[in-house]
Amino acid sequence: MTTIIREIREQFNPANPAECIGQVELLTVDETKAIVASAHQAYREWKNKSSVARGEILRVLADLLEEEIDLVAETASREMGKTKNEMIGEVKRGASILRYYAQEGMRATGEILPSANEDKILYTKRVPLGVIAAITPWNFPVAIPLWKIAPALVYGNTVVWKPSIEAALTGKLLGELFERAGFPKHVVNVVQGRGLNVGQVLLEAPEVKAITFTGSNGVGQSILNTAGSTNKKIQLELGGKNAAIILADADLKSAAKLTIEGAMKQTGQRCTATSRVYIEQTIYDEVLALLIEETKKIEVGVTMGPVVSRGQYENILAAIEKAKSEGAELIFGGEPAFNETQGYYIQPTIFKNVTHEMAIAREEVFGPVLAVVKVKDYEEAIQLSNDSEFGLSASIYTKNIQKAFDFIKRSEVGLVQVNDETGGAEPQAPFGGVKNSSTGAREQGQAAKEFFTTMKTVTINTK
């Protein structure tokens, strides 16, 4: 008999770093390979199941997720730091995603086309790819996995899912809910492990036909380097340095409130978080005061949770120190909220007098940090807004409809918001960016079928 020795990882609460909240077993490379092979076997039967029936299991899962909302939210909150109220909102969003894709099982998957030959029937149909590898981050431990896994399943693929190691307990709990919902064995597979071993198996396994990943640009580039030449489909959702523009004709109180919400919600740990804001010089001082006023309403430890880990905590504090050393003026926060032993809490932080040569204006921080830039007018604002290697989301606050539509046309991002914060996405709408923010087909909505299926064209000669 072969004895399998697995690494045991303890998970700690970032709000109380001394508190171990559970353990997870990390799979070996050989175990992961066996799971991928099993998913490949399960695909042969799952792909032939009615898409309506596949969608019905997603609906059952949505019901289960809502029934267990308190447990899922509490588990994720204690594991990765998002407040429980924020996690409840995320779990509800996850259920909405599942219900949306449950209905996708009833939609047409092709179309009948006219043929030049009257004796021929010509039509198209979408067909699944096979085994999909989903590699997901810790910052949305419920919503992001579900908006990848749900469309993959309803379109007839099987899935091997590697949750972030920082959200392993949440991933384990979701895996149990998939099982309870009635998915056949090996259709949905949760593999816990480190990217260097388990993740590498998913990139290299010939049975895996597509990889969908959300995370850092560095890891995304590694995926491209490894899997890009294997003929696998690749979908990458990466970083952002999202900008907001506040013009003099805007509702300034609303703009300030939404800008701070965009920057500080979920402790700024969102790829769509507002990271920089451009304010017209005639209203600069007034808006700056409003931003500070809104930031003072945040209660660290109550309405704002800790960052996910000690490593993230140290990275954010280092970015704050770098901004100060480069000449940005700290006007709010910028320090740990408590002693580190009391949790990885960082004060909401605002810098002014930021220039575009500074790292704080160009590099993703992924924490509760906002860079404020004074601009002469709208034209300078949009030029600076577009001056970034990233292109995920951007907002404009204005009552001028001409400038709003000009911004929609010229903003170099995938998600444009008018009089709203940079974050937020609905299940029925495509999600993704341009430049170094995204690679491959869009996520969510019916756009998801572009990634998770391929097109088959059929000709029937009736003569």
Q: Which domains does the chain have, with CATH numbers?
A: 7-238+437-461 (3.40.605.10), 242-418 (3.40.309.10)
Which residues of the chain have a pLDDT value below 70?
Answer: 1-5
Closest CA to 100 of 426, 443, 324: 426
Q: Which pLDDT value is given to residue 50?
A: 96
pTM: 0.95
Q: Which pLDDT value is given to residue 341?
A: 87
Token digits of residue 5: 């020795």
Q: Which pLDDT value is given to residue 5?
A: 63
Q: Which pLDDT value is given to residue 108?
A: 87
Is 237 an annotated catalytic residue? yes
Q: Which pLDDT value is given to residue 1?
A: 39
From the list 104, 237, 261, 294, the catalytic residue is 237
Could you tell me the CA-to-CA distances from 417 to 68, 243, 244, 245 in Å, in that order? 33, 10, 9, 10
Token digits of residue 329: 């003026």
Q: Is the dihedral of CA 109, 113, 117, 119 positive or negative?
A: positive
Rounded Cα distance, 20 and 8, in Å: 13
Closest CA to 80 of 269, 296, 340: 269
DSSP strand pairing (120-128 vs 110-113): antiparallel
Rounded Cα distance, 92 and 129, in Å: 29
pLDDT (tens digit per residue) in 47-87? 999 999 999 999 999 999 999 999 999 999 999 999 999 99
Q: Where are the alpha helices (DSSP H) in 326-419?
A: 378-386, 401-410
Three-state DSSP at 447 gives: coil
Q: Residues in the chain, how many?
A: 463
Rounded Cα distance, 283 and 289, in Å: 10
Which class for 388: exposed (0-12), middle (13-18), buried (19 or more C-beta within 10 A)?
Answer: buried
